[in-house]
Amino acid sequence: MRYGKTDRKRFLYGSAARSLVVPLLFLAAILLLGLAGWAYLCPGRAGEKFLVMLQNFISGRTPGERARLLGQTLARTASLCLCALAIALPCRAGMYNLGVAGQYALGAGAALVCALEFRLPWAVCVLAAAALGAVWGALCGALKGGRNVSEALSGLLMNAVALVLCRNKLRSLLSGGGTLGVLSTGPMLPTLGLDGLFGGEPTVTPAIPAAALAAAAVYIVLERTRAGAAVKAAALNAQAPMYPDPGAGRTALMTLTAAGALAGLGAAAQLLSGAGGWSLSRQPAVGMVCAAAAAALLGGMDPFGTLLWAFVLQHLSDGAALADGRGPLLTEAIYAVLVGLGAFAFFIRHAGKKRKEKGGEKP
C-alpha cells in the first residue's frame, strides 16, 4: 500500500508522532546545552565532563561502586517521580499545579521537624509530610472549586508563604540558629534488604518501589475509575470556568489534594532515605520542581512516561554531579530553560487556538 503526501503529513502531525518526536528533541536540546555548559565551565575538559555526565554510575571503577551509584540515582529518582506526578496529575484535569514547590517545602519541613525536633518514628514523619502537602494542595483546590481562583496564581502566591514558613522554622533547628547550613536526618527509612542489591547503599529503601507503585496507582485511577473519568472530563470541558458546578469543584479539590500529598511524599522520600538534605542557603524545592516539571512534560503527563523520564533526568543530574561540583546547578539551569520554553510554546499554541475559535464564531 502506497502512502500519499496527506498520509505522511497526518502521521508527522499526529499525537503518536508528537509523543515520540518531542521528547527526543528535548533530550537532544538537554545534551547540546549540557555540552555547551561544560565548554563554558571547563574549556579544556568539556568532552571528559560531558562523558561522565552521560555515564553516571557506569563510570564507577568497580562493580560494587557502580551498584552503589545506581542505588543513589534510584533513590533520588523516587523523590523526583513523586513530585513529577504531582504536576502531571492536575494537568490531566486541565489544571496547572504551580504550587508544587510550596507543597514540597512544607512536606520537607514536616518530615524534618518530626524527625529532628520530636524524634518521631519514620512512619509518622512520612504521614506528616504527606498530610501537610495535601492540606496545602487542598487550599488551592478549595479556592479553585469554591471561588474559581486560578490554581496557577494561588499556587505561586502560596509558594512564597510556604517557603518563608519552612525557612523560618527549619532555621531554629540548626545549632546556633544560623542562616546557612544543611539539615539532614540520615537514612531513617528501613532498607528491608534492598540495600544488599546495590552494594550496601543505605539510601536504597522501599521508597523506590513505592514511587513506581504510585505511578501505577495514578494510571489505574485515571484509566479505570469513575474519579479518573471525572478528572479527564474536567480537562475536556473548556467552558467549565464560565459555568462552574459542584462536581467540577469537587474534582479540583480532590485532584490538587492528591497532588499535594504526592509532593509531600516526594520530600519525605528524599530526606528520610538520606538521599539528600535541605539547604537553608538556597531553595532545594525550586530545583526539584524544575526537574519534576521537565520529567512530566517529557513524559506527556502520562504516569509511566513520567517515571521513565524522571530516571533519565536524574541519571544526567547525578552524572553531572560526579563530573563536577557545579554539575547540579548546570542541569537545574538547563531544565528550567527547557520548561520555560515548553510553557511559552504551549501558551503560543493555546492563544492561536483561542484566536481561531473566535474567528470561527464570527458570522
pLDDT one-digit tens code per residue, 213-224? 999 999 999 999
Which residues touch 250 (CB under 8 Å, ≥6 apart)?
145
Three cell numbers, residue 27 = 533530550
Residue type for position 125:
C
Cα–Cα distance list, 135 to 140, 141, 171 (Å): 9, 10, 23
Cβ atoms of 149 and 284 within 8 Å: the answer is no
pLDDT one-digit tens code per residue, 194-203? 999 999 999 9
Q: What is the mean pLDDT of residues 180-202?
A: 86
Degrees (nearest 5) of the Cα angle 41, 43, 49? 70
Cα–Cα distance list, 194 to 62, 70, 109, 132, 264 (Å): 20, 13, 27, 29, 23
Q: What is the mean pLDDT of residues 10-33?
A: 71
Q: Of 53-62, 88-97, 332-341, 348-357, which gets the smallest average pLDDT?
A: 348-357
Report whether pLDDT(19) > 80. Answer: no
Cα–Cα distance list, 144 to 36, 163, 264, 328, 338 (Å): 42, 21, 20, 35, 28
C-alpha closest to that of 327 among 50, 43, 25 = 50
Report whether pLDDT(351) > 80. Answer: no
Report whether pLDDT(13) > 60. Answer: no
Cα–Cα distance list, 228 to 110, 139, 263, 281 (Å): 29, 21, 19, 40
| The pLDDT of residue 189 | 94
